[in-house]
Homo-oligomer: A and B are copies of this chain.
Amino acid sequence: MALVVLKFGGTSVGSIDRIKNVALRVKKFFCEGHQVLVVVSAMSGETNRLLGLIDELSNNRHGREQDAVVSTGEQVTIGLLAIALNNIGCRAKSFTGWQAGILTDEVHSKARIEQINAESLKSEVEAGVIPIIAGFQGLTEANAISTLGRGGSDTTAVAVAAALKADECQIFTDVDGVYTTDPRVVKSAQRMEKITFEEMLEMASLGSKVLQIRAVEFAGKYKVPLRIRSTFDEGEGTLITLDEEEVHLEKPIISGIAFNRDEAKLIVRGVPDVPGAAYSILGPISEANIEVDMIVQNVADDNSTDFTFTVHRNDYVKAKEILAERLCKLEQGSLSGTDDICKISLVGVGMRSHAGIAAKMFSVLAEEKINIQMISTSEIKISVVINEKYLELAVRALHTAFELDDKGAA
């Protein structure tokens, strides 16, 4: 008998029929003798409907009150799923964030879970009850309802699994696992059976939108094995595990290729190469709450320096305005930029023990006559920025070169 936490996303609970289907799935686990807890999102479309009501009312966002409104989406699902399970003979009980003892910090709409007082969940599970827990929400110290930000239900599931020392946390979604790259771009992309947390972190943060990144961090930190699988078929999905050796015993060095079209690039040239230069440029960007992804700095030969960095494409115009104003004030430097870029990253813990991956990547791209605009590396990934129009070409070439193609596929 294992203790498992099952998480179902908005699409999986998007209609009454789907909720019934989820109930059957949960019942099956329970009947196999497992102890089961379930975490659910709002029915698909519901969170947007609620945010729409707020938008109609106000241009501003109001953290505490917005969270009170938006958190109702999950509250409806937990009640409905509990009813569906009771209907088919399972004892199930709904838990909102505060009922489940999920305590967060005070940062409304983007709260972080600080603690779970899991006594009531534990005693319910031990009494043979299936707790159905609202994802995405918690309680602040000020007794207010908080939400964890979009996708936060994954984090809830992992946190609950950690608090109850679950054997596995299974994330049910509309894809059947994590692929070596996006199958829409590369037809021969393969589902990975296993992947390490570190790799998954790099894959997630680079745009493989299967899992919320904070959930993966959390799972890694608390050593909760995570499994991504499909709500709609019976496949085993992809297991995210701590056991690096097991994952890479017979696997290629590169686990997968992630990419991201949501970035834009800004270049600042001719800034004096003195201490504080980077801060004088990037400080105002971060004060405007714009997140910077890649940063590259070169020193030119005239004692001036160039910065290139990327931001989310939605922040491009704003970042450009801020920088223009800044450079004008400093009376130095020049500004340029473009938003027709994309980022491609090779990810794999195997890189650590294999030299030459970067060189091979660059050679593959050169053969395809693709110019590299920026390069950034970490221990287990190499990212390049290229012109967006070469994205599919580059990903396919790299996928084949690093032997990720499914030999069985067409």
Q: Which residues of A contact B (CB under 8 A)?
A: 16, 19-20, 50, 53-54, 56-58, 60, 62, 64-69, 71-72, 75-76, 78-80, 82-84, 86-87, 93-94, 96, 98-99, 120, 143-145
- Name A83's contact: one of B66, B96, B99 (CB within 8 Å): B66
8 further A-B pairs in the complex, CB-CB below 8 A; given A54-B83, A71-B75:
A16-B56, A50-B76, A62-B83, A65-B80, A65-B82, A68-B79, A68-B96, A69-B80
Contact across chains for A79 and B65 when beta carbons are under 8 A apart: yes
How many copies altogether? Answer: 2
- Distance between Cα atoms of A209 and B217 in the complex (Å): 56
Contact across chains for B86 and A65 when beta carbons are under 8 A apart: yes
Chain B residue contacts of A84, Cβ below 8 A = 57-58
- Distance between Cα atoms of A83 and B79 in the complex (Å): 26
Contact across chains for A20 and B83 when beta carbons are under 8 A apart: no
Chain B residue contacts of A96, Cβ below 8 A = 68, 145
- Distance between Cα atoms of A82 and B65 in the complex (Å): 7
Nearest neighbor of A120 in chain B, beta-carbon distance: B143
- Distance between Cα atoms of A58 and B80 in the complex (Å): 9
Chain B residue contacts of A60, Cβ below 8 A = 87
Nearest neighbor of A74 in chain B, beta-carbon distance: B72
Chain B residue contacts of A57, Cβ below 8 A = 16, 19-20, 80, 83-84, 87
Contact across chains for B64 and A94 when beta carbons are under 8 A apart: yes
Nearest neighbor of A85 in chain B, beta-carbon distance: B65
Nearest neighbor of A62 in chain B, beta-carbon distance: B83
Chain B residue contacts of A72, Cβ below 8 A = 72, 75-76
Distance from A18 Cβ to chain B, minimum over Cβ atoms (Å): 11
- Distance between Cα atoms of A126 and B182 in the complex (Å): 57
Contact across chains for B75 and A69 when beta carbons are under 8 A apart: yes
Distance from A27 Cβ to chain B, minimum over Cβ atoms (Å): 15
Chain B residue contacts of A58, Cβ below 8 A = 83-84, 87
- Distance between Cα atoms of A16 and B72 in the complex (Å): 18
Contact across chains for A68 and B78 when beta carbons are under 8 A apart: yes
Chain B residue contacts of A80, Cβ below 8 A = 53-54, 57, 65, 69
